[in-house]
Amino acid sequence: MKILLSSVRYLESNNRITWFLLAIYALVIFYFSSLSYIKQPVETVWDMAPIEHIAEYAVFGFLVLLALKSKRRLVVSTVILAILLGIFYGIADEIHQMFVPGRISSIFDVTMDSIGSVLGVMYSSCLVMLNDKQEY
């Protein structure tokens, strides 16, 4: 847990690095969304796509909150803005997929992306508050 908290503290204090990581991660999402659908290598009983969307956007939401917060105190408006940016990026990603051969756009995917963004933002918010609590 100490490593995770110190990593969050580092990303908070190095805003340019956080924004750079966020931009790279957004480009990775865009790149994989640009590929025609690739069959999953392992067949499972459950459809893993919802979990993949949630995990993908949880990381995105995590980074968005840290990028927006930087060295300032965490406020509700920052949390709301981070969630909205995650949702809007998920919507943009699905619109983008409408134009990729072999891919479809889905409201369900946007919902899973949104859930992931909220979870990522909430998780990073909790870590930020723990860090702030330890400083006092």
Q: Residue 136 above 50 pLDDT?
A: no
Could you give the CA distance from residue 65 to residue 117 in angstroms, rounded to a whole number? Answer: 10
DSSP label at 100?
Answer: S
Tens of pLDDT, residues 74-109: 889 999 999 999 999 999 999 999 999 988 889 999
In this prediction, residue 42 carries a pLDDT of 59
Annotated domain spans of the chain: 2-135
